[in-house]
Amino acid sequence: MSSATAAATSAPTANAANALKASKAPKKGKLQVSLKTPKGTKDWADSDMVIREAIFSTLSGLFKKHGGVTIDTPVFELREILAGKYGEDSKLIYNLEDQGGELCSLRYDLTVPFARYVAMNNIQSIKRYHIAKVYRRDQPAMTKGRMREFYQCDFDVAGTFESMVPDSECLSILVEGLTSLGIKDFKIKLNHRKILDGIFQIAGVKDEDVRKISSAVDKLDKSPWEAVKKEMTEEKGQSEETADKIGEYVKLNGSLKEIHAVLSADANITSNEKAKQGLDDIATLMKYTEAFDIDSFISFDLSLARGLDYYTGLIYEVVTSASAPPENASELKKKAKSAEDASEFVGVGSIAAGGRYDNLVNMFSEASGKKSTQIPCVGISFGVERIFSLIKQRINSSTTIKPTATQVFVMAFGGGKDWTGYLPERMKVTKQLWDAGIEAEYVYKAKANPRKQFDAAEKAGCHIAVILGKEEYLEGKLRVKRLGQEFADDDGELVSAADIVPIVQEKLSQIHEDGLNEVTRLIKGL
Amino acid sequence: MSSATAAATSAPTANAANALKASKAPKKGKLQVSLKTPKGTKDWADSDMVIREAIFSTLSGLFKKHGGVTIDTPVFELREILAGKYGEDSKLIYNLEDQGGELCSLRYDLTVPFARYVAMNNIQSIKRYHIAKVYRRDQPAMTKGRMREFYQCDFDVAGTFESMVPDSECLSILVEGLTSLGIKDFKIKLNHRKILDGIFQIAGVKDEDVRKISSAVDKLDKSPWEAVKKEMTEEKGQSEETADKIGEYVKLNGSLKEIHAVLSADANITSNEKAKQGLDDIATLMKYTEAFDIDSFISFDLSLARGLDYYTGLIYEVVTSASAPPENASELKKKAKSAEDASEFVGVGSIAAGGRYDNLVNMFSEASGKKSTQIPCVGISFGVERIFSLIKQRINSSTTIKPTATQVFVMAFGGGKDWTGYLPERMKVTKQLWDAGIEAEYVYKAKANPRKQFDAAEKAGCHIAVILGKEEYLEGKLRVKRLGQEFADDDGELVSAADIVPIVQEKLSQIHEDGLNEVTRLIKGL
């Protein structure tokens, strides 16, 4: 007790309060620690980890299929590299403390580090993929996969190529990726920054107002037109007329073919240089999306604006039915005003997104004093945690996913006064299996009864038991037995200890001959 | 030019200096940016990335073979979680800036987050592996794989088990892991904290001085005994006699059997309770290292102390000939006094390390107000970047490692006025291959001559070309051709377009039938 408490003895009320404080305070001389991860972050383990790794392996396989090479950049960048790239979202960047030396920040996405890498190494063309964590000090919605630390899976193509060719491949990768993850009810919302810029010009928005009006339009997926119009006129200084003109266009959405036809018949659009460029791109794109047979997934949606500053051409975003917030979101939000977690009143949001950014690499080249070189880029990013939350919903909660890879459990059965438990002997046999590349375990006990060993084998999800019988082992024999309910009455077969590796290999290949494993089936939604 | 420059016109010298400054300064209105990664970090790409990924996959395969499950914890932890765990090295921890909310720091290793995870989730036993980046504000030596951001590959066993059983498995994993990475000339230096503590007691070191004397002893791999003795007596207040007594013991090293015999014959050791406990552990360990057949890799070395505070039992560290600094290190260090990078005057250091830490989980349980529960742990950590630097040295510089996985290149040959270049057609064929899981590319150009397409195929390291001939394609035919010098004169075969997928699959399976790929061979040192 501190002297402050002693001094308070004459004032019973204060004393009681102090006593209460003391009971909550850490014990004397002990450090009090909160056993938790920082806000918006979590530990991944068990079957969640297995599912997430399967998503990574599906996507990295996909990226490799398209000729991608992978790179890895540091988790933090010099602060100046990230400055001025993210518009209003820059406030969400995590900074490292100034402990002497350079000022650094955690990366906010993988795109800006990629552009820095391309500029720094004077790379003329590359298809790269990168699966890594990014950091945003946003309000988390953990069960919806919206976190402060989360993975992005990015594929980007840098280099000067035929118009819309890498763009259409990125769209095909989106479709291939999501389909291979068992997601079927998705829609790629697609727009073109130049068409949007043209519309703003047509409506009379000044050049310097374009970004802020663009960010207002971007809210149309969450807010009704009236609210967005109000933001444009009352907060962002546009005339009623300008807002209405924008409204006419941004309400348009449909297939590439439909909206292309509507815009092509609009003299305002075709006579606006920027809009016309964008429209020509769309016409080219349509040839390629048809070749890739992905038209049915695309919705040309003039309300899509995307917040980031660096996009210059095609932009796209993938949504599913789970993307939108619940209908009574604002009501739920009011109720949970001081909520640490926004899961209740937000949707999953977009599950993948991307676009073309032709100036970002050059921005770095010029700012660093290098020769100005235009390296156009286009890319996509899969939001793994959000996709994970969809797959989790789909997986039946009774499905058990085995987090270990263990195939074989090595046991010893015996008894009597001289029974040692054969621990070093079990180690020797297990080591032989390991050396042959076979996943194997044994219990970490000198003596264990058969029941305990079978339980451990079952817990590890093993298929085969290799048993050292007290007498059999001395005769150079091991017993090999299939595990599982249906083999309960099967005593297995006695084999020569010298042949144990090939015999186990043969049995395992029979067990796994059916091909696709359980996790792959689950991920693919089969 | 600023007004300061204008004011300086009367002073020509100052003016010249200003002009000089201006020429180095960023252009007006432009942001000046250094195109680099932060100190001690680097980008990974191309064949380096392929090698590093192969190391990861070798090690994660190994950990799975031993029944490990994987977890992923956040890159940053609450600062209080890391506090008081790393002794003198705590100053190397990176802090996140206080931007409101919790105070966080980047993880310094994977062990403390693991112990936090075990305590937080009341886990009674787990074998977990974790491959992830950790952060230390240390002086980097980039070419030696000593970096500020680097990967650790950890395997740890938590839970109450038979003495030395998980410990010996960790040692076996060290041997299996390094051997499978083609590293042969390594030595596991091994010691026991309790033996060391016993020796300090015998020599008359006070309990409160043990950690600092321990950290002096730990320098014996880099400094001669005289320097360490001086540190103990002059800086750390030990008597000449105490230091000499310690010196007698810490000079001992040899096989487990040899040193165990020496210590067992020493009445000071056997009558000291702590040392005796340690020695009994070593006797038990010897049974298991023999079963795993790894004795020849182990050197029982009483000078090994390891700096971290949390070890309580067995400790070990793997060194190779490249681990030690060059002989003239101190001379080189003087020359490069203000060096940003220490590569010239340091060695690779230890390439793997670990030990037993029986109190760390409980430290978290108690500090968080949970019921006190002892969850003993033991683990190992592979230093991937350091291992990488050894593998790089081994790999012949003329060896080319292909960074892409591309197998097939889809081309179109044609000409004449009406020649379109078959771009959408190439896309269609490529999409068929992708859908069948085959890695395929084509050039992103409407029309490309055969030479350019062959060059691109060669650059991607493709094995097969699928060729759309102008007329042949119209007849429903595709040409399939093997690529490479030895097939230069082979025109390939004309096949039905409908059969392209099975035909390509068949050819690829022939090509890859020899098993081990080039990278695996390189990694394994074959």
Q: What is the ipTM of this complex?
A: 0.88
**Residues B294, A424 contacting (CB under 8 angstroms):** no
Per the rule left: phi > 0, alpha: psi between -120 and 50, beta: everything else, B44 is beta
pLDDT score of B141: 84
pLDDT-based confidence at residue A5 (cuts at 50, 70, 90): very low
Task: State which residue of chain B sits closest to A98, comparing Cα positions.
Answer: B97
Q: Which residues of A are annotated as a binding site for L-histidine?
A: 109-111, 136, 152, 156, 306, 310-311
pLDDT of B67 over the 80 cut: yes
pLDDT score of A441: 97
pLDDT score of B200: 96
pLDDT score of B15: 43
pLDDT score of A6: 38
Between these two residues, A234 and B349, which has the higher pLDDT value?
A: A234
Q: Of A49, A120, A128, which has the smallest distance from its Cβ to B72's Cβ?
A: A49
Residues of chain B above pLDDT 90, percent: 71
**Ranges A120-124, A362-366, B98-102, B304-308: which has the least confidence:** B304-308
Contact assignment for B37 to A73 by CB distance below 8 Å: yes
Q: How large is the average pLDDT for residues B250-261? A: 96
pLDDT score of A339: 67
A408-511 CATH choice from 3.20.20.80, 3.40.50.150, 3.40.50.300, 3.40.50.800? 3.40.50.800
Interface test with A, best of B27, B30, B52, B72 (most A CBs within 10 A): B72
pLDDT of B137 over the 70 cut: yes
Q: Domain residue spans in chain B?
A: 46-328+336-394, 408-511
All residues of chain B having their beta carbon less than 8 Å from the beta carbon of residue A288 are 423-424, 427
pLDDT score of A15: 43
Please state, rounded to an integer, the average pLDDT across all residues of chain B.
89
Smallest CA–CA distance, residue A402 to chain B, in Å, is 10
**Ranges A54-68, A411-425, B164-178, B399-413: which has the least confidence:** B399-413
Residues of chain A above pLDDT 70, percent: 91
Q: Of B34, B102, B367, which has the smallest distance from its Cβ to A78's Cβ?
A: B34
All residues of chain A having their beta carbon less than 8 Å from the beta carbon of residue B439 are 64-67
pLDDT of B93 over the 50 cut: yes
Strands (E), B398-524: 408-413, 440-441, 464-469, 477-482, 493-496
Strand, helix or coil for residue B141: strand
**Residues B417, B487 contacting (CB under 8 angstroms):** no
Cross-strand partners of A208: none
Q: How large is the average pLDDT for residues A139-158? A: 90
Contact assignment for B74 to A41 by CB distance below 8 Å: yes
All residues of chain B having their beta carbon less than 8 Å from the beta carbon of residue A445 are 161-162, 165
pLDDT score of B85: 85
Q: How large is the average pLDDT for residues B394-420? A: 88
**Ranges A63-77, A506-520, B152-166, B474-488: which has the least confidence:** A506-520
pLDDT of A346 over the 80 cut: no
pLDDT-based confidence at residue B13 (cuts at 50, 70, 90): very low
Contact assignment for B444 to A35 by CB distance below 8 Å: no
Mean pLDDT comparison of A5-9, B78-82, B334-338, highest-scoring range: B78-82
pLDDT of B236 over the 90 cut: yes
Between these two residues, A327 and B122, which has the higher pLDDT value?
A: B122
CB pairs under 8 A between A and B: 281
Tokens linked to B463: 């094995």
Between these two residues, A403 and B425, which has the higher pLDDT value?
A: B425
Between these two residues, A397 and A253, which has the higher pLDDT value?
A: A253
Smallest CA–CA distance, residue A381 to chain B, in Å, is 19
Q: Of B287, B435, B437, which has the smallest distance from its Cβ to A424's Cβ?
A: B287
pLDDT of B241 over the 90 cut: yes
Between these two residues, A348 and B219, which has the higher pLDDT value?
A: B219
> A43-184+320-401: which CATH topology?
BirA Bifunctional Protein; domain 2 (3.30.930)
Q: What angle do CA A179, A181, A185 make, to 5 degrees?
A: 50
Contact assignment for A438 to B65 by CB distance below 8 Å: yes
Q: What is the DSSP string of B270-298?
A: HTSHHHHHHHHHHHHHHHHHHHTT-GGGE
Per-residue pLDDT reduced to its tens digit, A218-230: 888 888 999 999 9
Tell me if A43-184+320-401 shares its fold with A408-511. no
Cβ neighbours of residue A210 under 8 Å, at least 6 residues apart?
A: A197, A200
pLDDT score of B248: 95
B116 and A CB contact within 8 Å: yes
Q: Of A80, A427, A437, which has the smallest distance from its Cβ to B292's Cβ?
A: A427
Mean pLDDT comparison of A81-90, A275-284, A318-327, A366-375, highest-scoring range: A275-284
B 336-395: CB under 8 A from A? 364, 366-370
Between these two residues, A181 and A333, which has the higher pLDDT value?
A: A181
d(CA B477, CA B493): 10
Task: State which residue of chain B sits closest to A404, comparing Cα positions.
Answer: B69
B 148-187: CB under 8 A from A? 149, 157, 159, 161-162, 165-166, 168-169, 172, 176
Q: What is the 3-state secondary structure (H, E, C) of A494-526?
A: EEEHHHHHHHHHHHHHHHCCCCCCHHHHHHHCC
B 22-41: CB under 8 A from A? 26, 30-39, 41
Burial environment of residue B259 by CB neighbours within 10 A (0 to 12, 13 to 18, 19 or more)? buried
Query: Is B109 marked within a binding site?
Result: yes
pLDDT score of B14: 41
- H or E segment at B152? strand B149-158
- The CATH class for the domain spanning B46-328+336-394 reads alpha beta
- CA B460 to mean position of chain CA atoms: 28
d(CA B244, CA B229): 8
The total number of residues written for chain A in this structure: 526
**Residues A112, A85 contacting (CB under 8 angstroms):** yes
- Is beta strand B187-192 parallel, antiparallel or unpaired with respect to B298-301? parallel
pLDDT-based confidence at residue B11 (cuts at 50, 70, 90): very low
Query: Is B479 marked within a binding site?
Result: no
- H or E segment at A381? strand A377-383
Between these two residues, B378 and B140, which has the higher pLDDT value?
A: B378
pLDDT score of B397: 66
Q: How large is the average pLDDT for residues B109-128? A: 96
**Ranges A376-380, B25-29, B145-149: which has the least confidence:** B25-29
pLDDT score of B443: 97
Residues of chain A above pLDDT 90, percent: 71
Interface test with B, best of A30, A49, A75 (most B CBs within 10 A): A75
Q: Of B49, B73, B425, which has the smallest distance from its Cβ to A43's Cβ?
A: B73
pLDDT score of B274: 96
**Ranges A86-95, A451-460, B14-23, B297-306: which has the least confidence:** B14-23
Q: How large is the average pLDDT for residues B46-70? A: 94
